[in-house]
Structure formats: C-alpha cells, structure tokens
Amino acid sequence: GEDVEQSLFLSVREGDSSVINCTYTDSSSTYLYWYKQEPGAGLQLLTYIFSNMDMKQDQRLTVLLNKKDKHLSLRIADTQTGDSAIYFCAEKDGSGNTGKLIFGQGTTLQVKP
C-alpha cells in the first residue's frame, strides 16, 4: 500500500542549512507536499511540487524530487530558531479521483542558537 517515510529528528545550528528527507511508494502521486506544524498549532502548507518537476525554489525553501528513487527533500537555507517545528511530507493519493493525502510520521527540526 501507500507509505511515506521520514527520519524522526534533525538538529541544526542557527544559520546552517537543514535538509529533511522523505521517501514515498506511490509512483502515481501527482503532487507532493511539505507541511509545517508548530507546537499546539495546525498544519501550515509550506510548499508543494508537481510530479513532473525536479526542483522548486521558494525563498529559503528548496524542494528536490527524484522520481526514479521516489525521494523528496526539503532544504531550508539559513535556518532560524523560528523554523523549529515538525515537518510533514505528504503525497496526494494517485488512485481514483480523491484528494486524500498520505503523510509521513513527521521530522522534528530543532534549531540551536
């Protein structure tokens, strides 16, 4: 079945780059997403990439997609303490005509001053 895997924890120093990785199994996924969840808050959409793209850049965020390896990464440049949060990778279910999202377990990003 569909599955999305992420590493659970990443710790970086303020000002460094952070790279959060994700693998997925559904090769028919059309869109892949990154969401951010701060403590006690909802899910904030950060960015997304269409499956026919290799890369997307949005200010400090860079998304790389390797469709052959079903690998997605999110790079945050110049990481700030305000970036500390849980980051979820999600794929849109490619089967049928639904918008169902399948989420990874989330990666907790800790940014040390």
Residues of the shown chain interacting with other proteins in the complex, contacts defined by CB under 8 A: 31, 33, 35, 41-45, 48, 88, 90, 93, 96-106
Identify which of residues 23 and 103 has a Cβ nearer to other proteins in the complex: 103
Q: What is the C-alpha separation between 67 and 107, in angstroms, rounded? A: 21
- 80, 78, 73: which is closest to 107 by C-alpha? 73
Q: Which of 76/90 has CB closer to other proteins?
A: 90
Q: How far is the CB of 47 from other proteins (least distance, A)?
A: 10
Q: Residue 86 Cβ, how far from other proteins at the closest point, in Å?
A: 10
74 φ, ψ to 5°? -125, 120
The strand pairing partners of 62, in sequence order, are: 57, 75
Q: Which is nearer to other proteins, 99 or 113 (CB)?
A: 99
Residue with tokens 């028919």: 28
**Shortest Cβ distance from residue 81 to other proteins (Å)?**
22
What residue type is 13 in one-letter code?
R
